[in-house]
Chain A
Amino acid sequence: MAVSRRPPLRLVPEADEVPTPTGLVTAVERAALGDPQAREALYRGLARFVGQVLRAGGAHPSELEDLVHDTFLEAFSSLETLERPEALRAWMARLAMRQLQRRRRWRPWLRLFGSRREEAQAWEELLDASASAEVVAEVSRAARLLQQCAAEDSLAWRLHRWHELTLEETASACAVSLATLKRRVARIDAFLARWREDSP
């Protein structure tokens, strides 16, 4: 009887399936040691989250794949420096934003993709097909309003309010303290509240 040389079947983690807290610590430990399954589990669990952070930060769709790749490459090579595995998402958000900033530095022409004029339109296009016309209009209007605010305040607000990053994750992505982050989000909240009051 011929012996099969095919590799044994293995489980492939589902996308967005973040390991349980106990499993997360183990997965981070194992991934730091080079375990490919642990790395894939982390990747599958966090890739979309990283993409979301990058998109919110102004990454162009055409550069998302490269940025996600570079973010995970950096993460895998420096997982040992992650002191609290439970803060993995916040740490990844920080790495993602750093990759984005790094790319903006050495490829200045890509800044053009992040121009504010295009941003409002881009937000519309990023909504799910199931979104109603009313929601699309609201988001588009809010995106245009946010252009009047400081870029760092707007980014913090979008990450926290729209993309539902926790305060800790958002603070890490924006590389600011929790207190600063809360002030930034509060400024936009107040701005939008004022706008609602002033609207006819």
Chain B
Amino acid sequence: MTPHPPRPSAPPPFRPPLSDEQLDRVWERLADAPTSDSSLRSPWPTRLALGSALAAALVLGVLLVPRMLAPPALELAEGAALPPGARVSTVTTLSDGSQLAPEQLARVEVLRNAGGRFVARQSDGRCRYSVTPGGRRTWVIETPQATVEVLGTVFSVDARTTSVAISVERGRVRVRSRGASSQERLLEAGESWRIAETDEVPPAPGVPPAPLAAPPELSAAQVLARAEATLVTGGTDEAAQQLERWLERAPRDSDWSVVALRLGILELETRKAPAQALPWLERVSLGELEAPPSVLEDASALRVLALERMGRTPEARRAATAFEARWPRSAWLTSLRDRGETER
């Protein structure tokens, strides 16, 4: 055995970090995630994937030339920028006179605002769009069930968990449903189309739209996944609201404690708000409801940290001592001991 460490010229032969099966599994999850602008999917993906020089030049030309001629990005009426990732939660008037009017609980996020395209994603709630006609800008609203391409109009989108309803007041829009039986339809003023994940058949023109079904409750897993996705895009406050709303609506759910713990962590670690975190952590840790042992343990440890950060040191010490007595082999003890919260 040589005593020398490996030299820079000879990197060690590492195993691939992920197996082929793991790679495929991750891709399946990614492929299921909504795309930001599926309306621009190329009809020649194979050629593009091959990267032939001719196709690349053509595609770049097609993409770049319109951008050079495209109108400037939309701004808020008062001149502030509206970059991708911006969320619209109140009535908002844009620099071209267009207006977005989300109702309470609506989730509207800007995905793209450049190159003559304004793309927004509406994943929840109802929003009324009044788009100033006559511009060279394309408007696209993405929902989980459909893509709405705006052709200068006033219309509303009501996005629910498993369905979306589009109603046109003035002008017209082109709606393309997603899913295996994807359909496209041009909606004129006065027409509506409700698209459900399991029922994508459009009603005959002129038939009034069916009333929307009450939105089904999200499962704990769904709301957690949604909150994580929101966090990825920096929507900390919104993620907290999503979790809190769900906790209020589903007080008897068997996974309530898991979601409450997640909200507690978010408040404590991400928002640095121990006072906000503490009530959630206490509801889990102080036995108000049945919680899985690991959740109970995590919530109890985090409660100690929350108390400590709030300056309630004596209480934190007592809680830490009780924690150590109950979970003497817990991995959390290292962290708590480092903070001087338990007896060494």
Contact = CB atoms under 8 A, between A and B. Distances in A.
Contacts of A48: 16-18, 23
A31 to B, nearest CB: 10
A27 B162 CA distance: 32
A40 interface: yes
B48 A64 contact: no
Interface string A1-41: 00000000011010100011011011101101111111111
B60 A25 contact: yes
Interface string B320-339: 00000000000110110000
Contacts of B60: 25-26, 29
Contacts of B166: none
Contacts of B216: none
A30 B41 CA distance: 8
Contacts of B40: 33-35
A34 B41 contact: yes
B215 interface: no
Grouping DSSP codes into helix (H, G, I), strand (E, B) and loop, the A interface class, with mixed when no group exceeds half, is helix
Nearest to A107: B265
Contacts of B344: none
B229 to A, nearest CB: 7
Interface string B1-22: 1111110100111111110101
A55 B15 CA distance: 11
A161 B8 contact: yes
B204 interface: no
Contacts of A162: 6, 11-12, 14
A64 B17 contact: yes
A196 B8 CA distance: 13
A47 B26 CA distance: 9
A72 B30 contact: yes
Contact of A195 (B5, B30, B46, B51): B5
A138 B6 contact: yes
A127 B12 CA distance: 7
Contact of B51 (A23, A47, A112, A126): A23
A29 B23 contact: no
A29 B63 contact: yes
B36 interface: yes
A54 interface: yes
The bracket for how many chain A residues form the interface is 35 or more
A34 B37 contact: yes
A70 B232 CA distance: 8
Interface in A93-150: 105-109, 111-112, 126-131, 133-135, 137-139, 141-142, 145
Contact count band on B: 35 or more
Contact of B17 (A20, A51, A106, A129): A51
A69 B5 contact: no
Contacts, number: 192
A11 B50 contact: yes
Contacts of B8: 161, 189
A37 B48 contact: yes
Contacts of B18: 47-48, 51, 64-65, 68
A76 B229 CA distance: 12
A80 B41 contact: no
A29 B168 CA distance: 32
A192 B5 CA distance: 7
Given A10-B45, A15-B23, A36-B31, A23 B3 contact: no
B72 to A, nearest CB: 16
Given A109-B298, A137-B1, A141-B5, A80 B84 contact: yes
A29 B42 CA distance: 12
Nearest to B294: A109
A91 interface: no
Contacts of B6: 135, 138-139, 142, 162
B219 interface: no
Nearest to A144: B5
B35 interface: yes
A173 B110 CA distance: 28
Contacts of A10: 45-46, 49
Interface string A70-95: 10111011101100000000000000
Nearest to B50: A11
B36 to A, nearest CB: 5
Given A26-B48, A105-B269, 13 more contacts: A20-B51, A23-B50, A38-B45, A39-B35, A64-B18, A65-B18, A80-B84, A109-B332, A112-B331, A128-B14, A138-B4, A141-B3, A200-B3
Interface of A: 10-11, 13, 15, 19-20, 22-23, 25-27, 29-30, 32-41, 43-44, 47-48, 51-52, 54-55, 64-65, 68-70, 72-74, 76-78, 80-81, 105-109, 111-112, 126-131, 133-135, 137-139, 141-142, 145, 161-164, 189, 192, 195-196, 199-200
14 contacts: A15-B23, A32-B36, A33-B36, A35-B42, A38-B45, A38-B48, A51-B18, A55-B17, A76-B36, A106-B269, A109-B332, A134-B2, A138-B2, A141-B5
